[in-house]
Amino acid sequence: MTPTIKDVAAYAGFSIATVSRAINAPHTVNPLTLAKVREAIAALNFRPSPLGRQLRSERTRLIGVILPTLSNPVFAECLQGIDELAAAQGYRLMLMTTQYDADRERHAIETLREQRVEGLILTVADADTHPLLDELDRDGPLYVLMHNDTVRRPSVSVDNRQAAYDGVRMLIAHGHRRILMLAGTLAASDRARLRHAGYVQAMQQAGLTPAPALEVDFNAEELAPSVLAHLTNGAARPTALFCSNDLLAMVVIRGLRRARFQVPRDMSILGFDGLAMGELLAPALASIGSPNRDIGCAAWERLMTRIDSARANAAPVQNQSLSLTLPHTLRTGATIAAIAHEPAIVNDAGSRHDSADDAAIHAIDALRAR
């Protein structure tokens, strides 16, 4: 069916070795021979099978990518970055998604390992306590985590604790004092934990009382009554919500709206992820931005570094820390309103500002200068 190197050799009248050389080291064969071989290749529309090649050389030029889902643009953006570099460097990508399911994570790793991927780029729910990763450390292919925020393993992410801290400080700078954190059903993830820690830190530092993260069902059409009660009832209701991701923020905004709550007049909202989509909302979603594409690219580069050094010598590169932290951004948006009736807790005891955006910008400047 598909022509093999043998067919080419027969057609050209040379041995398969010569054909192989003509393909892989053209300068070592007679130009005339080369021409004939090339003609044969063209005539037969031959393309070398990577299978035989890989079998021989132990190099597959294959990288596995394991993501929780592609429904969240965060991961799609990462993948986009990875794909760009992979294509440019002649690697192929094998993709599997897990929906955060442990069984599927295991299955994906098994499958990709069977395929002899040279490396793995992945995002898991909780990196620290992940037994599969220990396995990989021992004898699996090299890997780099994306988004998982841990110093214990090779990873690329933003500083989730710091980012959440910055974001919540911004809310506080806008005069908010009753700030609640909302988390998706994946409250157990390392990121969610760290984001909550940042929230707690910012609150305490401002002399405010942090609360446990409120879990919200992501996929529900409406906000659960119990959640809505938390958000809207009584005088002690929060004036601002820190949502652990943008998709969640959008769902919450819709839920509030249906409950006749206006954003940001009745409730300020801060998301996390900095989805491009958020800027198209009205009001534009305020969010802590994570450079998803860059995270993908950085993960790729880390992985390549690891692979190259593993190939060169057995000693892994130890002069760089395992985890790489990329800078986050604070995207001010129109979903945050300043609370006027209480004095804002901002260090620069300067002038009051007219618009929420002005205040936000100053708040950020203050944070950045920190």
Which residues sit at the interface with DNA, rule CB under 7 A? 2, 4-6, 13-18, 20-21, 23-24, 28-30, 32-34, 46-49, 51-53, 55-57
Residue 14 or residue 46: which is nearer to its own copies going by CB?
46
Q: Which does 30 bind (CB under 5 to 8 A by kind): DNA, its own copies, none?
A: DNA
When CB distances are held under 5 to 8 angstroms depending on the partner's kind, the choice from its own copies, DNA, none that residue 6 binds is: DNA
Give the C-alpha separation, 208 to 169, whole Å. Answer: 11
Residue 361 lies near its own copies (rule: CB under 8 A): no
Contact 321, 359 (CB under 8 A): no
Which CB atom, from 3 or from 345, has the smaller least distance to its own copies? 3
Which residue in 4, 80, 185, 325 binds its own copies (CB under 8 A)? 80
Binding-site size, its own copies (CB under 8 A):
47
Calpha distance 200→361 (Å, rounded): 23
CB count, 10 Å around CB of 39? 13
Q: How many CA atoms lie less than 13 Å away from 295 in the CB half-sphere?
A: 30
Confirm or reject binding of residue 258 to its own copies (CB under 8 A): no
Q: Is 42 in the site for its own copies (CB under 8 A)?
A: no
Quick one: tokens of 172? 């506080």
38 is an interface residue for its own copies by CB under 8 A:
no
Pairing status of strand 119-122 against strand 240-243: unpaired
CA distance linking residue 145 with residue 143, whole number of Å: 7
Choice from 10, 16, 93, 367 touching its own copies (CB under 8 A): 93
Residue 6 or 47: the one with the smaller Cβ distance to its own copies is 47
What's the CA gap between 158 and 156, in Å, rounded? 7
Those residues whose C-beta lies under 8 Å from the C-beta of residue 192, and which sit 6 or more positions away, are 183, 184, 186, 213, 244
Q: Does 254 participate in binding its own copies (rule CB under 8 A)?
A: yes
Residue 109 Cβ vs DNA, minimum distance, rounded to whole Å? 17
Q: Are 335 and 172 contacting, i.e. CB atoms less than 8 angstroms apart? A: no
* Structural Rg of the chain based on CA atoms: 27
Binding mask 118-147 for its own copies (x = CB under 8 A): ---------------------x--------
What is the token pair recorded at 341?
Answer: 């009736």
105 binds, among its own copies, DNA, none (CB under 5 to 8 A by kind): none
57 touches, from its own copies, DNA, none (C-beta below 5 to 8 Å by class): DNA
Decide if residue 309 touches its own copies (CB under 8 A): no
In the complex, the smallest distance separating the C-beta of residue 75 from its own copies, rounded to whole angstroms, is 9
List, in sequence order, the alpha helices (H) in 98-213. 102-114, 131-139, 160-173, 190-205
Q: Which is nearer to DNA, 1 or 88 (CB)?
A: 1
Among the listed ranges 108-116, 148-156, 324-332, 336-344, the one in contact with its own copies (CB under 8 A) is 108-116
Q: Where are the beta strands (DSSP E) in the chain?
A: 62-67, 92-97, 119-122, 142-146, 155-158, 179-183, 214-215, 240-243, 268-273, 286-289, 323-326, 329-331
Q: What would the two tokens of residue 27 be?
A: 């300068």
Task: Assess 2 for contact with its own copies (CB under 8 A).
Answer: yes
CB atoms within 10 A of CB 192: 24
Does residue 321 interact with its own copies by CB under 8 A?
no
Using DSSP, state whether 318 is helix, strand or coil.
Answer: coil
Q: Which is nearer to DNA, 8 or 247 (CB)?
A: 8
Closest contact distance (angstroms) between CB of 53 and its own copies is: 9
Find out whether 66 and 117 touch, Cβ atoms under 8 Å: no
Segment contacting its own copies by CB under 8 A, of 18-26, 76-84, 163-171, 298-306 = 76-84
Residues 158-197 touching its own copies, rule: CB under 8 A, are none
Q: Which residues would be at the binding site for its own copies (CB under 8 A)?
A: 2, 45, 47-52, 54-55, 60, 69-71, 73, 76-77, 79-80, 83, 87, 92-97, 104, 107, 110-111, 113-116, 139, 250-251, 253-254, 257, 276-277, 279-282
